[in-house]
Amino acid sequence: MGIPFFDRLKTGLWDENPGLVQLLGLCPLLAVTTTFVNGLGLGIATLAVLVTSNALVSATRRWIQPQIRIPIYVLIIASLVTCIELIFKAWFPDLDRSLGIFIPLIVTNCAIVARAEVFASRNSLGPSIVDGFVMGSGFALLLMVLGAFRELLGQGSLFAGLEMVLGGTAQRGLVIVDGGWLLAILPPGAFFSLALAIAAKNMFDRRREQARRIPDSATRQTR
Amino acid sequence: MPMSDVNVIKGGVTLAVIAAVCTALVALTFALTRDRIVANETAWLERNLQPALAGLFFDSGITESKLTVAAPHNLPGTDDASIYRVYAADAPVAALFVVSARDGYSGPIRLLVGIDVEGAITAVQVLEHRETPGLGDRVEAGKSDWVKQFAGRSLINPMPDGWAIKRDGGEFDQLTGASVTPRAIVNAVRETLLYFAANDASVFAADDLAAPAEGNAK
């Protein structure tokens, strides 16, 4: 695999972002992104599961017959999610309480089984870990952006509850205005925010595509 | 042996080996995190019970004398309820009830209701809920002062007609845009007080409250 790390990173964060482009794992993505900190917490947990599951699937790929690969992926992912949940309960108990059922539900995040099937089962250990990292980062970043956006609109604050990750006393975060636009925190707000994010990405890509084409045609005309 | 049988056995063995490895991994993580998780849960409980004990003198550990009331019982909620009792020199000081209000806007609301030995409320605290953010969630102590209105209340303060939200003709404030949540909590608190009034002797004395006391059956 000769693809440089930064190109892989760009693929995971932008070109093939699991949430924005592949539209995978939308259930936790829509349900959890009510605040930045929730997005960060679930993002870290998903990232950790993706990296370790890609590593395990890749390391065992020689012994796994194709007929039983799916139950084995499920087994590996479910065990890793249980481990991550225990680790969260031990070291980030408040965050675990705030995310609730969505940590165990990482098992059902199809972004993870998709990476196992599409990438880790066909590539060696190193590239699989990198793939888990870049795809997990893309998902985590989207969770954080949506969380920050909805928190800002819905509660008028940013980074509230950061003590759940960093420790220390309870904080209200950066309060910009008191109260906010409730719809942003309710479920419809999740769909609107995701739609806006996808639209913004597509718009940006199209602009860039056009900007690349115009100089091309300009040079052709002068010839 | 035909080829397909060999494959089935190979597949079964692979699956078993990976299952064993995964189980070992989970077991190891569990063993490494168990002590911390138990400590976290006790700390969380003590932190949440603390508000109901402000200003009281007691010398027993808060979580030491836990009493589990198995469902079905006459407390609010359909699952098991817990009572944490605190004592000063073996004399009862207060009982902290952890109950659930069944009829919240979205699912049960877990409540802490602290009642002192005289039958007056020391504090009410919402422990867990799934109410609408921005509307019903203002029953959380961190988000508004709504739950503070329960302090000092008892079955005769207000009198039985007054144990309802203002919209229903009672004495308790509601929340703008949310009356289901406050109504559920007011009812649950009143039911807890009724249970305490009917069972106050056994609440502090018993080691186990399996059956509801006579005369209080619904």
Q: How far is B35 from chain A (nearest CA, A)?
A: 8
Contact across the interface for A65 and B10, Cβ inside 8 Å:
yes
- Nearby residues of B55 by Cβ (< 8 Å), 6 or more positions away: B122
- Measure CB to CB from residue A65 to each of B11, B25, B29 and give the nearest one: B11
pLDDT score for A217: 62
Mean pLDDT of chain A: 86
What digits encode the pLDDT tens for the residues A15-60? 888 888 888 888 888 888 888 998 999 999 999 999 999 999 999 9
- Using the predicted structure, report yes or no on whether residue A2 has a pLDDT greater than 80: no
Residue A115 near residue A50 (C-beta atoms within 8 A): yes
The pLDDT of residue A173: 67
Q: Let me know if A125 is exposed, middle or buried by CB neighbors in 10 A (0-12, 13-18, 19+).
A: middle
Which residue ranges make up each domain of chain A?
8-222
- A92 pLDDT higher than 60: yes
The count of CB pairs under 8 A between chains A and B is 68
Asked if residues B95 and B115 have their Cβ atoms less than 8 Å apart, the reply is yes
Q: Output the pLDDT for position A99.
A: 85
C-alpha to C-alpha distance for A155 and A172, rounded to whole angstroms:
10
Interface test with B, best of A86, A92, A185 (most B CBs within 10 A): A86
B209, pLDDT greater than 60? no
Residues A127-143 pLDDT 10s: 999 999 999 999 999 99
pLDDT digits (tens, 9 = 90+) for B168-187: 888 888 888 788 899 999 99
**pTM exceeds 0.80:** no
Q: For residue B57, give both structure tokens.
A: 């003198």
* Amino acid B216: pLDDT: 40
Q: Which residue of B has its CA nearest to A73?
A: B18
Pull the structure tokens for residue B129.
Answer: 């809920």
Per-residue pLDDT band at B211 (split at 50, 70, 90): very low
Round to whole Å and give the CA distance between B74 and B65. 21
Domain ranges of chain B: 57-205
Q: Please tell me the distance in Å from B27's CA to the nearest CA on chain A.
A: 9
**Contact residues of B toward A, CB < 8 A:** 7, 10-11, 14-15, 18-19, 22-23, 25-26, 29-30, 33, 36-37, 40-41, 44, 132-135, 142
Structural tokens at position B65: 């004398």
Answer yes or no: are the C-beta atoms of A73 and A81 closer than 8 Å.
Answer: no
Structure confidence at residue A218 (pLDDT)? 60
**Inter-chain touch B36–A90, beta carbons under 8 Å:** yes
